[in-house]
Amino acid sequence: MQDILAEKVARQGASRNFWERLLATLSGFGWVVKCVWILNANPLATAEIDELTRVYTRDHALALARHELEMARRYKLPFSIVFLDVDGLKNLNDMKGHAAGNRLLREMGTRLKSSQRLSDIIGRYGGDEFIIVLPQTGFESAREYLKRMQIDCVQVPFSFGIASEDWGSEKSTTLESLISSADCEMYYQKRARKLAAAKS
């Protein structure tokens, strides 16, 4: 019941006044505070979640990632970021239409969230690209994590690249440079696989 009312309140459409009156009538319930918060703050909350995949939006994921990177830098903790690309989405869109492509992306979001650890941050970077932030995770642990995820996501094939920082050098690392490195590794992995398939 709470979730239904919260959803109704969040719509903020023509019936807003009705739901406000209903909430006022039910003000004796403790959860009314939550509903009022949703009424006022929902535009911000919905902007944090990608509507199709139900993972974080790019902007929100990057904001959280910057915070985690700063914590890792301050306490010299390992930090990894994954750049992930869903394989074959363009061909699927061309052959079966964007509805089929959207279903694949939605499934990818579901699979990523099912493999997500409590500390991980998953965001849709754009189109068929996702980023996964892995706090307190070095390169080898991140690679093992992604290998297990590929087994779990056998129905949704993807390519990935990993960039990690263990603070072994004095060079300052930025989130942008890590994402760029992970993106490049993902590209080379995808290209190598295509070349191998062409030779076979």
Q: For position 25, what pLDDT does the model report?
A: 52
pLDDT at 17 over 70: no
**Domain extents in the chain:** 2-47, 58-199
Confidence category of residue 20, pLDDT binned at 50, 70, 90? low
Using one digit for the tens of pLDDT, what is the confidence trace for 105-114?
999 999 999 8
Does 49 or 199 have the greater pLDDT score? 49
CATH superfamily name and code, 58-199: Reverse transcriptase/Diguanylate cyclase domain (3.30.70.270)
Q: For position 166, what pLDDT does the model report?
A: 85
Cβ atoms of 145 and 134 closer than 8 Å: yes
**Which H or E run includes 101?**
helix 98-115
Confidence category of residue 42, pLDDT binned at 50, 70, 90? low
What's the chain's average pLDDT? 80
Q: For position 66, what pLDDT does the model report?
A: 96
Question: Rounded to two decimals, what is the model's pTM?
Answer: 0.74
Does 44 or 91 have the greater pLDDT score? 91
Cβ within 8 Å of residue 124, ≥6 positions away: 50, 52, 53, 55, 56, 57, 58, 61, 109, 130
Using one digit for the tens of pLDDT, what is the confidence trace for 119-177?
999 999 999 999 999 999 999 999 999 988 888 777 788 999 999 998 876 667 899 99
Measured between its terminal Cα atoms, the distance across the chain in Å is: 57
Question: Could you give the C-alpha distances from 26 to 5, 6, 17, in angstroms and in order?
Answer: 11, 13, 14
Q: For position 4, what pLDDT does the model report?
A: 45
Residue of 86, 82, 55 whose CA lies nearest to 156:
86
Using one digit for the tens of pLDDT, what is the confidence trace for 61-85?
999 999 999 999 999 999 999 999 9
DSSP 8-state symbol, 164:
E
Residue of 53, 51, 61 whose CA lies nearest to 109:
53
Question: Could you give the C-alpha distances from 195 to 71, 88, 128, in angstroms and in order?
Answer: 40, 15, 21
